[in-house]
Structure formats: C-alpha cells, structure tokens
C-alpha cells in the first residue's frame, strides 16, 4: 500500500519537476556574471610582502558561440514536460477507465441478482406445481433407459 502511494506521488510530482526545469534551461541563454573574493594573512612575515592581502575578480559569460546547445536543451525540456504531461493524462484516463469498468461490473452483477432471484422463485414454483400434480396422481415418473443399438 505504501509503495503504491509513493509511486503515485512520484507520478504526479514528476511533471511538476520537469515543468520547473524549463525556465532553468531557458535561463542558460542569458549572460552570467560571477564574482570571487579572497582575503587573509600571509603565512610568513617577509619584508617585501604585506602581512595582509585581499583580491577580487569577476567573470562575465556571454553565451554567443555555443552551437545552439542551450536552445536544444530548452527544446528538450519543453518536449520532456509535454511527454510527462501526456503520460500523467494517460495514467489518469486508465484509472478512470478501471473505476468505471469496476462500477459497471458491480452494477451489472447487482442487476443480475434480481433476475436470478426471479428465476429461483419460478423454479421453486414449478417444483411445487410438479409435486402437487404428482401427489394428485395427474402425472407419474417415467424412468428412461438408454436405448441400445444392436449391431447388424
């Protein structure tokens, strides 16, 4: 039971995760700026070096010549999101179909109960009538024997 609930959570969460991936893939096309800084003390006190130091730098990345990699990644993320949504819709349709089939089978079985009950009542009535006829002497039991075919 627990594993099926976990499976359902995964099935419903996967399209959301794939949808969240789409903007990240789109953002790869945008320029990025990263900065780095460092500060500290020099390990040895040497005369030409200051006892403290600091440095800073930054990097600008502009994705111009990447062979359309980021556009392909964005298209892949869009296609994957569409496929996961289709899979989820298919799974939902299967569950709906199975529930409807089970409901129709149960309803049909319930309706057959009344038909079976009427058939049982009619069979009991026919048995009562046949017993009454027999007890009144209006009919008698015939015993049949299998016929024999004599070979020529």
Q: Is 14 domain-assigned? A: yes
Q: Is 121 domain-assigned? A: no
Residue 7 in this model has a pLDDT that exceeds 80: no
Which residues fall within 8 angstroms of residue 14, CB to CB, at 6 or more apart?
84, 88
pLDDT band at 3 (very low <50, low <70, confident <90, very high): low
How far, in Å, CA of 89 to CA of 136, rounded? Answer: 70
| Nearest CA among 140, 114, 118, 113 for reference residue 126 | 118
Look at residue 17 in the predicted model and tell me its pLDDT.
75
Residue 144 in this model has a pLDDT that exceeds 70: no
- Domain residues for the domain of 72 are 2-35+55-110
pLDDT digits over 42-56, tens only? 777 677 777 788 899
Cβ 21 vs Cβ 77: under 8 Å: yes
**Helix 69-136 and helix 2-27: axis angle, to 10°?**
150
Q: Is 16 domain-assigned? A: yes
Total of domains in the chain: 1
Q: Is 64 domain-assigned? A: yes
pLDDT band at 126 (very low <50, low <70, confident <90, very high): very high
What average pLDDT does this structure show over 12-25? 75
Q: Is 140 domain-assigned? A: no
pLDDT digits over 65-106, tens only? 777 887 788 888 888 888 888 888 888 899 899 999 999 999
pLDDT band at 15 (very low <50, low <70, confident <90, very high): confident
CA dihedral 83, 86, 92, 98 (to 10 degrees): -100
Look at residue 147 in the predicted model and tell me its pLDDT.
60
Look at residue 105 in the predicted model and tell me its pLDDT.
95
């Amino acid at each position: 039971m627990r594993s099926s609930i976990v499976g359902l959570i995964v099935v419903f969460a996967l399209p959301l995760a794939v949808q969240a991936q789409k903007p990240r893939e789109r953002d790869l096309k945008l320029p990025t700026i990263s900065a780095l800084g460092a500060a500290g003390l020099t390990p040895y006190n040497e005369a030409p070096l200051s006892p403290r130091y600091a440095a800073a730098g930054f990097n600008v990345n502009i994705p111009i010549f990447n062979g359309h990699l980021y556009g392909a990644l964005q298209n892949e993320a869009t296609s994957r999101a569409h496929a996961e949504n289709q899979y989820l819709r298919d799974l939902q349709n299967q569950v709906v179909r199975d529930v409807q089939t089970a409901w129709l089978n149960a309803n049909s079985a319930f309706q057959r109960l009344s038909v079976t009950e009427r058939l049982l009542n009619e069979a009991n009535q026919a048995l009562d009538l046949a017993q009454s006829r027999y007890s009144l002497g209006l009919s008698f039991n015939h015993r049949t024997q299998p016929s024999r075919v004599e070979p020529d």
